[in-house]
Chain A
């Protein structure tokens, strides 16, 4: 079964609104989680590293004020896309480290209309 649960799997929102995506680790604690974005026909690009108890670390070119990350507990990280625009439409996916590599959530397909 899934070890990382991501919700929602699909969301449609209007331009200018905010959307929150949750990523939960099941049956294990994750002090670190990662958020990726994938545009159509492109690969996964790391957006940020979510750190429990401290600020997230953002990759170059990712706006921290637009993509708010909160690692509220050892099992939950959230990504909020603020003031969404159509160009934010994408597939967002979280992951948590495993012994080697990572467990992935199911992904969230965001469509901004």
Chain B
């Protein structure tokens, strides 16, 4: 059974702090790892990672994947109150001979709270 584990489950910081969110996985037939931000509605796409060691960056957010150690991290620098949300890690791992692309297994999520 595919498994995705995120840590920590919750995190409380102050504005300006830097945070690192972790995601480890055990899946067969790995295709991609995705990070999403969720604020009381549908998840918003952040990053998609397919190759090891290549950092993806968008403003204050960055992410990297280690396919050997089976984990990814999401970094947020200079946090702002608007970063408060649930951050979800998901892995796409098609089954049944390569069908079911787009089927995602999600981690539990990390609840990030940023105080002013």
Name A's B-contacting residues (CB within 8 A): 6, 32, 34, 36, 41-46, 49, 93, 95-98, 100-102, 104-107
Contact = CB atoms under 8 A, between A and B. Distances in A.
A44 B48 contact: no
A106 B44 CA distance: 10
Interface of B: 31-32, 34, 41-43, 45, 48, 50, 88, 90, 92, 100-109, 111
Contacts of A36: 106
Given A34-B103, A43-B106, A46-B104, A101 B34 contact: yes
Contact of B105 (A41, A46, A95): A46
10 contacts: A32-B101, A34-B104, A42-B108, A42-B109, A43-B88, A44-B104, A46-B103, A46-B104, A101-B102, A106-B41
Given A32-B100, A32-B101, A104-B42, 9 more contacts: A34-B102, A42-B109, A43-B109, A44-B88, A46-B104, A49-B103, A97-B102, A101-B104, A102-B104
B106 A95 contact: no
A32 B102 contact: yes
Contacts of B103: 34, 46, 49
A6 B50 CA distance: 28
B41 A44 contact: no
